[in-house]
Amino acid sequence: MDNFVAIDFETANREPSSVCSVGIVVVREGKIQNHLYRLIHPTPNYYNYWNTRVHGLTAADTAQAPAFPFVWAEIEPLISGLPLVAHNAVFDEGCLKAVFRKYGMTYPEYKFYCTCRASRRVFGKELPNHQLQTVAARCGYQLEHHHHALADAEACAWIALRIMDLYLNS
């Protein structure tokens, strides 16, 4: 799989629709071609202490950020026709579907692949866990800003470039 988009969302609270940042990395012909990071005004618009503790974002950071539909209008042309890859894809796909529902947008049934599942299949018990930073390190990528949506998307792209073909073809 040489063409895909790695994607990562961070949320403001426990609601999956509360995306407050997104990072995407566009890979074409096995090479990173583009990347994008955007803050998003979350819906619902409140920050849970624990979420902020994880990613460091607060209401002040996203107070002037655009709502999701405006951010997605910028992202959609970049990802059109490409599969999406995420580490723990259930979370990111759930966020994407939830925020589409929240805004009454038609969800285009994006195809998601999961680097966490791929890691379990390829590396198995070789790793102590299959968290993003652990798998990234095993694949030779030093994840320095874990839980920053773009940094996590870049790590995911790196992992996918190293192991997704093995996962899909085994």
Contact between 33 and 9 under an 8 Å Cβ cutoff? The reply is no
Domain that holds residue 25: 4-169
CATH number, domain with residue 21: 3.30.420.10
Torsion angle of the four alpha carbons 42, 47, 53, 57, in this order, in degrees rounded to the nearest 10:
40
Tell me if the bond preceding 16 is cis, omega within 30° of 0. Answer: no
Contact between 127 and 121 under an 8 Å Cβ cutoff? The reply is no
Of 122, 110, 106, nearest to 164 by C-alpha is: 122
Distance CA 81, CA 90 (A): 20
pTM for the whole structure: 0.93
Q: State the pLDDT at residue 16.
A: 97
User: What does pLDDT average to in each consecutive run of 10 residues of the chain (170 residues)?
Assistant: 94 98 96 96 96 95 98 97 97 98 96 94 93 93 91 96 68
Q: DSSP string of 13-71?
A: SSSTT-EEEEEEEEEETTEEEEEEEEE-B-SS----HHHHHHH---HHHHTTSPBHHHH
CA terminus-to-terminus distance, the chain: 13
Distance CA 39, CA 133 (A): 22
Q: State the pLDDT at residue 146.
A: 87
Q: What is the rounded radius of gyration, in angstroms, for the C-alpha atoms of the chain?
A: 15
* Structure token pair of residue 69: 């539909």
Q: State the pLDDT at residue 118.
A: 92
Total domains, the chain: 1
